[in-house]
Amino acid sequence: MNDMLKRVGQEPIPVELRPVLPPPPFDWNNLKQTWQPADEDVRSGKCGVEFRFVKRGQRLQGVQGIHVLVKKQRPPQPGFGIQVDTLLYATQPMLEEPYDSFGYRGQDRNKCRYGVTNENGFVRIEGLPKMPVLVEVLVPTANFEESGNRWDLLMESNEGLQIADARDPRSVDANKPPAVIELQEGEVIRYPIMFVQSQLSANVQDWDAVDDQFELTWKSPPQTAVDHYNVKLTLSAPTQHPGMSTMSPSIVTETVQVNETSWPVGQRGVGKMQLVPGNIYLIGIEAVRAGHIVASLPRIRVHVPWKHRDAAPPLTGLSQQRPTFYHDIYLRTNANGQSLEVRLPALIRDSPKMFETEYHRLGMAWLDLHKKKDNAIDDLRKLTVELPRGNVVRATAQSLLDATAANQPIPNRLKFVAPK
């Protein structure tokens, strides 16, 4: 740590201060003055917590340099906005000036405790008062030997190893808050062992275009024996936040067990699911050994271009534009300050090459059904005739037609449905 401080022109932090420091400040202009011990009430108690992090492979190897933050649990804050009371806000490697890309920006910084794992993967934080605390973990992987690889963080539990990131859709419950520990007077609680595990790498990137000739290939996990792989294909749809993979909807998922490191998804599909023009899919892979997942590929989003017209790729979040019509949309939604009734016809008229045009046409028909317009049924029928079987827009249009024929209420919140 002091070597890095010297590189950025800061004075060293005395060894005796390190066990009682809060997380580093966001502003690194004068660390000697701003990085002082945490408040006494969070470093003079009789409680403690210990963590161990290991790298998973042929042998368990302690991981040095993992950042751990412990802070008092507080009630959820109302409202919306970007969370800045976290080590994960705007975190980047500190390679060049200005050196202000790592630190803790919350106003409660001096009420937090902080530590970094040693060469054996251990870190212990002591002197805490008896209270419920939240745990936050940051694992820098840029200095790992496996260049270009991505990693999962898993936690040992009664159900085996589970994804420890609550924001990850593969975790046990992605809607749960971060882990809470109830500290006990005079005790050092040993947190379950945390495993850093390599992700698989494949021949597909987020938002790639695929077709009926697409063959999925991937590399086996390094230094890990595998019994088989589970290839998963999930039908998805446009989402309000296409830049966030965790927000991508899962409409229906099929899985196939594979013994090799490739699968002809385009020609054979996955289970009962085939690649169909106009659809968005999520692709995932799990490497399984003795019934346990030893490596995985998180969900990669891909799309199949339309065949009946020339169209641009989907909106991906790389631009300032966001989809106007998306999965799980409410009837009164506004887009860019305009109602759906105004925005959707304009997009259909002015941007006919958008990938999402058929989705927009579905949206207009859904709105017109609520207004009991005569053309709504005809517009839905056109979609079921024009679009191929297995397309999610066609399936959703048919579900609206079936609901209308059965005199069922038209949903105020529309979700795309799986083809039958």
Q: What is the 3-state secondary structure (H, E, C) of 206-264?
A: CCEECCCCCCEEECCCCCCCCCEEEEEEEECCCCCCCCCHHHCCCCEEEEEEECCCEEC
Residue 137 pairs in a beta bridge with 68
The alpha carbon of 158 is separated from its chain's Cα centroid by a whole number of angstroms, namely 24
Distance CA 79, CA 192 (A): 33
DSSP H or E stretch at residue 386 = helix 375-386
List the domains of the chain with CATH numbers: 2-198 (2.60.40.10), 208-303 (2.60.40.10), 329-414 (no CATH)
List, for residues 285-305, the tens digit of each pLDDT value.
Answer: 999 988 877 788 888 999 999
Per-residue DSSP letter, 176: S
- The residue type of 135 is V
- The residue type of 385 is V
Task: Write down the number of H helices and E strands in the chain.
Answer: 7, 22
Does residue 96 register a pLDDT over 90?
Answer: no
Q: Please, which residues have CB within 8 angstroms of residue 141's CB and are 6 or more apart in sequence?
A: 149, 150, 151, 196
Q: Please, which residues have CB within 8 angstroms of residue 409's CB and are 6 or more apart in sequence?
A: 403
C-alpha distances in angstroms, 31 versus 26, 116, 190? 10, 18, 31
Does residue 172 register a pLDDT over 50?
Answer: no
For residues 300-318, average pLDDT = 92
Per-residue DSSP letter, 42: G
List, for residues 335-367, the tens digit of each pLDDT value.
Answer: 667 899 999 999 999 999 999 999 999 999 999
Neighbouring C-alpha atoms within 13 Å toward the C-beta of 367: 20
List, for residues 235-287, the tens digit of each pLDDT value.
Answer: 999 998 888 777 889 999 999 999 999 999 999 999 999 999 999 999 999 99
- Is the overall model pTM greater than 0.95, yes or no? no
Distance CA 25, CA 76 (A): 23
Distance CA 416, CA 393 (A): 7
Q: Which pair of tokens denotes residue 154?
A: 């898993």
